[in-house]
Chains A and B, each alone.
Chain A
Amino acid sequence: MSEPAVDRTIDRSHMHVSDEVAIQITGMNKWYGAFHVLRDINMTVNRGERIVICGPSGSGKSTLIRCINRLEEHQKGQIIVDGTELTSDLKNIDKVRSEVGMVFQHFNLFPHLTILENCTLAPIWVRKEPRKEAEETAMHYLEKVKIPEQAGKYPGQLSGGQQQRVAIARSLCMKPRIMLFDEPTSALDPEMIKEVLDTMIELAEEGMTMLCVTHEMGFAQAVANRVVFMDQGQIVEQNEPTEFFNNPQSDRTQLFLSQILGH
C-alpha cells in the first residue's frame, strides 16, 4: 500500500448496523466443473454492514459476491437475500437483482449509450419509470458522484475513475438496498483510486449495506465494520478491522497481510 488513499474523517452518524438480516449464506458450495471453488461458506450480513472481503488471487472472492446476485449459480447450500432465497426461480432472481447493485472491476458501462442513458436504461425498462423521472434520478446520482457535466458524453470519453463513478451512479439509480463491489479500484491509476473510494465512503456514510472485494486496506480500516479473509474457497478469518490488521490469528492471514502491506 503506497499513500493513504483515505485521508478524511469519516462521518459515522448514519453508519449503524441493525439487527435485520440482509444476506444469509448457509453451507454454500460451488463448483466449476470438478473444481471446488467455494467450500462451505457461512456468512450473515446485517443491514448497514460494510464488509471488506480480501484474500489472495483465485481464492474465490469474486465468485462469492457474484453468487449473491446470481451472476454465478451455487450448487449446494442456501443464499437468502432480503428474505428471498436464490433458486433457479427467475422471479426470485429478478427480485434479488432489483435489491442488489453491483460495481465491476472493469466498469462494464454500455459503450453505445451516453452516461445519462446508461443510468436511465434499467429504471426505464426494468422499473418502468417514466423517462423524465428516471432522468431526474440519474442526474441526482451523477451529481452525487460529482460528474453531472459528463451526462451527455459516451463512456469512452471519460477517464477510468469517472467511468467507475458512473457505474456506481448507474447502480444507485435502481435504488438498491445492498451494494456489491468487485475490486472497483484495481483497474485504476493511483490518482483515480481516491475519487472512487471517496464515492464509496460517502455511500457508506449514508448507511448503505456494502460488500466490497478490495485490497485497499486504508478503505477497510476507515469504513469497514468487518473484514473477511478468504483463501482456497473458504472463509479463513473474519474480524473487525483494527483487530484483523493488528492481530491476525491464522498463518495464512498473517502471510497475506505481510505481502499486501509490503513488510
Chain B
Amino acid sequence: MSGLHADSTRFVRDTMLAEQEPPLTERGAVKWARENLFSGPLNTFLTVVGVFALYLILKGLGPWLLHSVWFANSAAECRETVAADFGPGATGACWGVVRERWAQYFYGFYPSEAYWRVNLAFVLLFVALAPILFAGVPRKVLWFTAFYPVTALFLLWGGSIWVPVVIMAGIAFGWVAFRLLGPFAGALIAAIAAGLVPVLWWLILAAPVAHLIEGWIPLGIEAIPSAKFGGFLLSFTIGVTGIAFSLPLGIVLALGRQSDMPLVKMLSVGFIEFIRGVPLITLLFTASLLLNYFLPPGTNFDIILRVIIMVTLFSAAYIAEVIRGGLAALPRGQYEAADALGLDYWKAQQLIIMPQALKISIPGIVSSFIGLFKDTTLVIFVGLLDPLKGITDAIRGSFEWKGVYWEPFIFPGLIFFLICFGMSRYSMYLENKLKRGQR
C-alpha cells in the first residue's frame, strides 16, 4: 500500500458491471467434454478407443436389435420373417420366445389357473415391505408384515389352512414361554426357551396337530407341490425368505462373535468361518443329498425349504462379517456412554450400537442381498428350475424354439439386472436419507 501513489490507491466505482456469461470454452457441453474427455493425451486416447469400442458393439448389435421379431411362434418363423423383411443373411432378435413363454419364466410349472395366488402373494409382498422400506408408511402395517410369511406360504403352496395356523401357534407358544419364564428364570433362559419351544413344536407336534384339526374341519385350497415351482417364482421365494432371515441371523452372529462368553464366541466364529470356507454349491448339495441320510427315512423335508435354510445360513455368515465391520467402526465412547447411562447390553445394542453399525454396513449388507438373490440361480444344481438356466434350457430344448440362443438368456438377465439395480438404488436412497442431518 505504502508504495502506491495516492491517486492510484483511491478508487470509487461509479458504474456497476453487468453479469456476463463465461466464455464459450467454459460453458455447457464444450467445457464438459474438454474437462472429462480430452483433458490430456491419455484421456484423449482413451476417449477415442472407447468411442471405437462403442461403435463396434453398436455395429454388431444394432441391426440384430433393429430386426427384432415379436410375433412369431417358433424359431423357424422368426428366421423366415427376418429373411422376408430384411433380405437373406440378415440377423434379427427373436423376442417371440419371450412373448410366448414369459409365463414360464415367472411361474415355472405352476398351474396357470392358480397364477392369481402367486400374483396376490407378490402384490402383498410389497404391502408387507412398505413399512420396512419407507418411513412414511403407517406403523400399523407392520402387523400385516408379521403375518405375511405364513400368508405367502399358504397362498403359494396351498393345502390345509391349519398348517399356517399351527406354525403361528408355535411363535405364540414361544412368546408365552418367554413371558412365563422371564420373571424368575432370567432373560437368557427365557430367550432360549422362547427359541426352543417353537422349534420343538414345529418338529414334533405341529404336523399331527394340523392333521388332526384338518380331520375335524377340512379347510384349504389346492395344494401345489414344490416341484411345480420354477423361474422367478422360485428365485423370489428363496431370495426374499433368505434376505428376510439372514439379516437378523447375521446380526446375532456378529454380536456372538463379539461376545465375552467364550462358548458363544467360539460357536459364532466357528460357524462363520466354516460357512465362508465352503462354496454355496457344496451346501446346496448337502441340503439336497446328504441330509436324506441323516433324516429318518420317510421324512418329507421340502427341498425348497432346505435350500432356503442353506442360502440363509450362507448369506448370514457374510452379513455377520459386514456388520462386524460396522461395529468395529463405532468409537468405544458410544458403548461407554450407553453403559454410564445405565442401559443394559440389549438395550444399548438395540438403541445405540446397531442403528449406527447397520447404517455404516448398509452398502455391504445390500451387496450380500444382491449376491444372495443372484445365487438363487444355483438351485439348478439340485434339480430346481431357476429362471436363468433351468427355464431357459427347458425352452431351448422345446421343438419350436430350438436354435434361439441369446434371447432366452437376455430376458431373465434383464430382469435380474432390474431387481439388483433396484436394490442398489434403494441402498443409496437409504444412505442419503440417514446421512441427512447427522455429521
**A residues apposed to B, CB below 8 Å:** 69-71, 90, 94, 97-98, 100-102, 104, 106-112, 121-122, 125-126, 153-157, 170-171, 174
Contact = CB atoms under 8 A, between A and B. Distances in A.
Contact of B340 (A71, A109, A125): A71
A104 B438 contact: no
A107 B356 CA distance: 17
Contacts of A97: 339-342
Contact of B342 (A94, A104, A107, A154): A94
B359 interface: yes
A197 to B, nearest CB: 21
Contact of B359 (A106, A109, A112, A157): A112
A118 B159 CA distance: 50
Contact of A71 (B339, B355, B359): B339
Contacts of B359: 112
B437 interface: yes
16 contacts: A90-B344, A94-B344, A97-B339, A98-B342, A107-B333, A108-B336, A112-B359, A121-B343, A121-B352, A122-B343, A126-B341, A126-B342, A126-B347, A153-B437, A171-B340, A174-B341
B337 interface: yes
A219 to B, nearest CB: 22
A111 B342 contact: no
B334 interface: yes
Contacts of B341: 97, 121-122, 126, 170-171, 174
Contacts of A126: 341-343, 347
Contact of A156 (B331, B347, B434, B439): B439
B356 A112 contact: yes
Contacts of B331: 106, 108
A154 B439 contact: yes
Nearest to A97: B342
Contacts of A112: 355-356, 359, 434, 438
Interface string B313-356: 00000000000000000010110110111111001000110011
Band of interface residues on B: 20 to 34
Contact of B437 (A107, A122, A154, A171): A154
Nearest to A123: B341
A138 B103 CA distance: 59
Nearest to B344: A94
Contact of B337 (A70, A100, A104): A104
Contacts of B356: 110-112
Contacts of A100: 340
Contacts of A70: 339
Contacts of A156: 437-439
A174 B340 CA distance: 11
Contacts of A110: 334, 337, 352, 356
B437 A157 contact: yes
A68 to B, nearest CB: 10
A73 to B, nearest CB: 12
Given A102-B340, A106-B333, A157-B437, 9 more contacts: A71-B336, A71-B339, A97-B340, A97-B342, A108-B337, A110-B352, A122-B342, A154-B439, A156-B439
4 residue pairs, one from A and one from B, having the closest CB atoms: A156-B439, A108-B333, A108-B337, A122-B341
A70 B437 CA distance: 33
A112 B331 CA distance: 13
Contacts of A121: 341, 343, 351-352
Nearest to A99: B342
A156 B439 CA distance: 4
A114 to B, nearest CB: 8
A196 B353 CA distance: 27
Contact of A125 (B333, B337, B343, B434): B343
Contacts of B342: 94, 97-98, 122, 126, 174
A69 B342 CA distance: 10
A156 B434 CA distance: 13
B80 to A, nearest CB: 64
A37 B342 CA distance: 25
Nearest to A157: B437
A40 B439 CA distance: 43
Nearest to B436: A154
Given A71-B340, A108-B337, A174-B342, A125 B351 contact: yes
Nearest to B348: A125
Nearest to B356: A112
A125 B359 CA distance: 22
B68 to A, nearest CB: 50
A102 B336 CA distance: 10
A189 to B, nearest CB: 19
Nearest to A180: B340
A125 B349 CA distance: 13
Output the residue of A69, A98, A122 with the most chain B CB within 10 A.
Answer: A122
A101 B340 CA distance: 7
A144 to B, nearest CB: 18
A191 to B, nearest CB: 23
B361 to A, nearest CB: 13
Contacts of A108: 331, 333-334, 336-337
B438 A154 contact: yes
B214 to A, nearest CB: 45
Nearest to A170: B341
A100 to B, nearest CB: 8
Contacts of B437: 153-154, 156-157
B226 to A, nearest CB: 42
Contacts of A94: 342, 344
Interface string B354-368: 011001000000000
A111 B351 contact: no
A110 B354 CA distance: 12
A70 B355 CA distance: 25
Nearest to A109: B337
Contacts of B438: 111-112, 154-156
A101 B343 CA distance: 13
B49 to A, nearest CB: 44
A216 B291 CA distance: 69
A125 B336 contact: no
Nearest to A70: B339
A185 to B, nearest CB: 16
